């Protein structure tokens, strides 16, 4: 990673950065400069405000009525399905922001690459465990939703959407460019968790077990820790069994992840962690 890009060079690239038009390597180098340059940060705020306005340049195009109504029915069906079968994740934790994808960054963990045997063994067991668990979860969810909505055609679409979502999740867990961070704790109930980072699409999937319920008025908050920042990946509450799944989309430069942590925070979440991590895992790629 280039961290010594000259200010003038970086400054000349800010417009392209705001348009998300830099190639991956250059984008990382410019971002590295911007992260430590207040002048460029201020300019980026202004340029990003400009790019946000450009969507208004698009000519409105109505959807065909059938398509429009189909999407509407599916959206409302998903709301009902979520209520009937509450997701493991609090709504606010479904994903984080939405920095444009830099493309095809390949951030395979150095640790795993240096230990192919471990990689193969772990990948095989991971595939088996996750596949079985996910298959069971998908099957149970599908059957339950089918029973509930078998006479409501419009809500069958919600089932299709839920299954599609699960398919994407499986891909994010099992893809060839997935790095895994294991989180541990000394707590009495021995919470455990894993973070799966699908680096091909910048999709993060956090799976936790045995987490105690947060105190009243508090919630858990997931953090991606880099050398300079602690980035919130959303708040969540575990189900009564202590299980939780959080999915997020976030672009992180190669090798930037130092650790993944979960802290207990006020219900609205915090800008930065305010408590000691309940559970913590260090990235093997550092």
Using CB under 8 A, list all residues that contact another protein.
Answer: 12-13, 15-16, 18-23, 46-47, 49-64, 67-68, 70-72, 74-76, 78-80, 91-92, 94-95, 98, 100-101, 103, 161, 164, 201, 249
Q: Are 222 and 260 in contact (CB under 8 A)?
A: yes
Cβ-based nearer residue to another protein, 172 or 285: 172
Cβ-based nearer residue to another protein, 79 or 124: 79
- Residue 79: CB minimum distance to another protein, A: 4
- Residue 49: CB minimum distance to another protein, A: 4
Cβ-based nearer residue to another protein, 21 or 133: 21
Cβ-based nearer residue to another protein, 112 or 250: 250
Return the beta strands (E) in the chain as ranges: 178-183, 192-198, 203-209, 218-225, 230-236, 244-249, 259-266, 279-282
- Residue 125: CB minimum distance to another protein, A: 28
* Residue among 204, 181, 200, 205 at smallest CA distance from 285: 181
Strands 203-209 and 230-236: unpaired
Cβ-based nearer residue to another protein, 81 or 130: 81
Return the beta strands (E) in 24-130 as ranges: none
Q: Are 134 and 173 in contact (CB under 8 A)?
A: yes
- Residue 178: CB minimum distance to another protein, A: 15
What residues have CB less than 8 Å from 184, skipping those under 6 apart? 192, 279, 280, 281
- Residue 248: CB minimum distance to another protein, A: 11
């Amino acid at each position: 990673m280039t961290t010594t890009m000259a200010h003038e060079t970086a400054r000349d690239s800010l417009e392209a950065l705001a348009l998300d038009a830099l190639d991956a390597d250059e984008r990382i180098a410019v971002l590295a400069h911007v992260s430590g340059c207040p002048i460029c940060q201020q300019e980026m705020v202004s340029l990003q405000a400009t790019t946000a306005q450009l969507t208004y340049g698009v000519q409105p195009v109505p959807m065909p009525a059938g398509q429009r109504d189909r999407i509407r029915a599916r959206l409302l069906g998903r709301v009902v399905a979520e209520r009937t079968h509450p997701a493991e994740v609090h709504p606010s934790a479904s994903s984080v922001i939405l920095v444009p994808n830099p493309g095809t960054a390949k951030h395979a963990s150095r640790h795993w690459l240096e230990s192919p045997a471990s990689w193969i063994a772990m990948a095989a067991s991971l595939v088996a465990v996750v596949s079985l668990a996910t298959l069971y979860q998908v099957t149970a969810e599908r059957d339950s939703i089918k029973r509930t909505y078998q006479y409501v055609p419009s809500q069958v679409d919600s089932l299709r959407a839920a299954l599609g979502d699960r398919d994407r999740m499986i891909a994010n867990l099992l893809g060839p460019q997935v790095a895994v961070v294991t989180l541990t704790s000394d707590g009495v109930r021995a919470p455990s968790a894993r973070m799966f980072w699908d680096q091909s699409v910048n999709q993060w999937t956090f799976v936790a077990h045995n987490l105690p319920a947060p105190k009243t008025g508090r919630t858990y908050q997931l953090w991606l820790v880099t050398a300079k920042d602690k980035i919130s990946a959303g708040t969540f509450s575990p189900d009564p069994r202590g299980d939780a799944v959080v999915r997020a989309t976030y672009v992180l430069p190669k090798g930037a992840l130092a650790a993944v942590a979960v802290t207990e925070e006020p219900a609205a979440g915090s800008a930065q962690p305010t408590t000691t991590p309940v559970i913590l895992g260090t990235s093997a790629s550092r």
